[in-house]
Amino acid sequence: MEKNIDKTSYDALVIGAGIAGGEAALNLANTGYKVLLVDKELSVGGKMIMLSKVFPTLDCSACITTPKVSEISRHSNITIFTGAQASNIRKIGEKEFTARINKQPRYVHIEDCTSCQLCEEACPVSVSDQYQYGLIGRKAAFIPFSICSPKAAAIDIENCTLCGACERACPTNCIDFTMEPEIIDIKVKTVVLATGFKLFDPLDIPRYGYGKFKNVITAMQMEREIAPTRPFNTILRPKDGKVPDKIAYVLCVGSRDASVGNPICSQICCMYSIKQAQLLMGALPMADVTIYYINIRSFGKGFEEFYQQAKGMGVNFVKGKIGRITEKENGNLILRYEDINSGKLQEEEHDMVILSTGVLPNEGISELFEGDTLGLDKFNFIGQSDALAGPSRTSIDGVFVAGTASGPMDIPDSILSAGSASSEAISYLIQHS
Amino acid sequence: MEVEKGKTAKYLREKLGGVPEQAKHNLKEFNSIKKLMLEALKEEDLTVIQLSEKLNMPTDKVFYYLMSLVKYGFVKTGDIDDMDEYYTYKLNE
């Protein structure tokens, strides 16, 4: 049975607690507004908290994200709901929105959990760890990842055998299987959409062999392998645990490709691949790294220098379009490609291939709204009603968009966009107070 | 219904009428692979490929479960071979 909890009021509802949502929430909260920050995941921090380093500065991503996440989590004007989704957002009159928050039970009382991990140790179940992108297992009673916030255990109820081992091991009795889904009806004055993006699923291009050939992985999986909170002791290929020494990147996988329905450039794939190539050359000094590209789009501040730096370090850049990838018996991979400069077909052997997947819009955002229609652009990102004069305004007055929910962009641009959205939201709140 | 703190799993098990079959199957599979791997590593330190041959199991499956056992503290990483390609793995005793 779901419990229906009484209505609560906030000044702003921010949907999505990634770097853009978090920044927008902080700006609003620091100005004195009460914010409800909602995220479907078990932790705030979005995708950025899972990254190794950022380009082009090679600063540690977690070192930037965690203080911000900590500030968000401790801010007296911000209420955070993780494992929760907003729906039924409806504008009532000129000054108010109502919304419904569906909060899934974590089966752990966060405030009592000391994150001692004794539940994790006691849990007999092992399932694929979604926070390590399936590279390794995790328990059904688990801390999502080491720098998650809130730093508290959660129970994966779908895979739990309800043996009670976690409860018996818990020194604070914070595990509670009687928790139920909650429906919380709220009233807010403005809404900021920071729902982020999703990555292209390379299973949709079978000729690259992802899923079939285990040494073909995604850049996000490699991101985990090179992060400080990585799953293995070093870089290893998933087919057989070999330390790779001839690594290939394939750019524009599922972006700039009308045949898979995504004709636009993802804006980040070139640079995150170049970043990873540099980090790999540091982690594996003897490794050869080759990047197969159509065009290198080094358009941002410091990007061209970053690209030249990678070349200087010895990263091999090949202007080539990959036709298909096949696997040899030893797990090595043969890349068949068209050398764009010579127009000839070539083949090259690598022992690991990383697919730099493109950015896609998250689906179902417009369905969150009732009454008014949230406009989308032709690529299904949230439409900006005036991309030049008011880039965070949407088709609904009082609803603003922040970060990659409006289109592909890198981290600094996401933070800028969040600044724009929060400024517009603050201005709206002042005008409608 | 009064539920005793610290014993709530029983409450949910009764409410759901048991444990989902898939969860039971996953646990059974993990336990049997864990047992096989730990027994094989009792005899000697092994690489993923050696363990795969010994257990007659695909290398990628061995790698996934072996790395999980390293994470859970049952197994630890040993030395790398002379070609700097493959690590051996040993029991964490």
Count of pairs with CB atoms under 8 A, one residue in A, one in B: 117
Distance CA A353, CA A351 (A): 7
Q: Tell me whether B17 touches chain A (CB under 8 Å).
A: no
pLDDT, tens digit (0-9, with 9 covering 90-100), for A346-386: 999 999 999 999 999 999 999 999 999 999 999 999 999 98
CB atoms within 10 A of CB A156: 19
Alpha carbon separation from A298 to A85, A120, A266 (Å, rounded): 36, 44, 12
For residue A286, what are its two tokens? 């003897």
- Per the prediction, chain A carries an average pLDDT of 95
Chain A residue numbers with beta carbons less than 8 Å from the beta carbon of B11 are 177-178
**pLDDT beyond 80 at A3:** no
Q: Which of A149, A1, A174, A155 is nearest to A82 (CA)?
A: A149
Q: Tell me whether A152 touches chain B (CB under 8 Å).
A: no
Between chains, do A137 and B71 touch, taking CB under 8 Å as contact? Answer: yes
For residue A28, what are its two tokens? 């609003």
pLDDT, tens digit (0-9, with 9 covering 90-100), for A376-430: 999 999 999 988 888 999 999 999 999 999 999 999 999 999 999 999 999 999 9
Average pLDDT over residues A116-136: 97
Q: Which of B26, B70, B71 sits opposite A127 (nearest CB)?
A: B26
Q: What is the pLDDT of residue A76?
A: 96
Q: Which of B10, B17, B12 is nearest to A105 (CA)?
A: B12
Q: Which of B54, B9, B31 is nearest to A141 (CA)?
A: B9
Q: How confident is the model at residue A433 (pLDDT cuts 50, 70, 90)?
A: confident
Domain ranges of chain B: 19-91
**pLDDT beyond 60 at A2:** no
Of all residues in chain A, the percent with pLDDT exceeding 90 is 95
Q: Tell me whether A284 touches chain B (CB under 8 Å).
A: no
* DSSP β-bridge partners for residue A326: A334
Q: What is the pLDDT of residue B93?
A: 85
b vs e for A189-204, b when ≥16 Cβ sit within 10 Å of the residue's Cβ? bbbbbbbbbebbebeb
pLDDT, tens digit (0-9, with 9 covering 90-100), for A160-181: 999 999 999 999 999 999 999 9
Q: What is the pLDDT of residue A354?
A: 98
Predicted ipTM > 0.90: yes
**pLDDT beyond 80 at B1:** no
pLDDT, tens digit (0-9, with 9 covering 90-100), for A211-270: 999 999 999 999 999 999 999 989 999 999 999 999 999 999 999 999 999 999 999 999
Domain ranges of chain A: 1-104+181-196+362-433, 105-179, 200-359
CATH 3.50.50.60 for domain A200-359, yes or no, is yes
Q: Which of A164, A176, A214 sits opposite B10 (nearest CB)?
A: A164
Average pLDDT over residues B77-91: 96
**pLDDT beyond 80 at A5:** no
Residue type (1 letter), A369: F
Between chains, do B67 and A159 touch, taking CB under 8 Å as contact? Answer: no
Looking at the domain that runs over A1-104+181-196+362-433, which CATH code has it been given? 3.50.50.60
Its CATH class, for the domain covering B19-91, is mainly alpha
Q: What is the pLDDT of residue B86?
A: 97
Its CATH class, for the domain covering A105-179, is alpha beta
Smallest Cα distance from A248 to chain B, Å = 18
Ranges of H-type helices in A284-410: 303-313
For residue A26, what are its two tokens? 């902080």
Residue type (1 letter), A385: S
Q: Do domains A1-104+181-196+362-433 and A200-359 have the same CATH topology?
A: yes
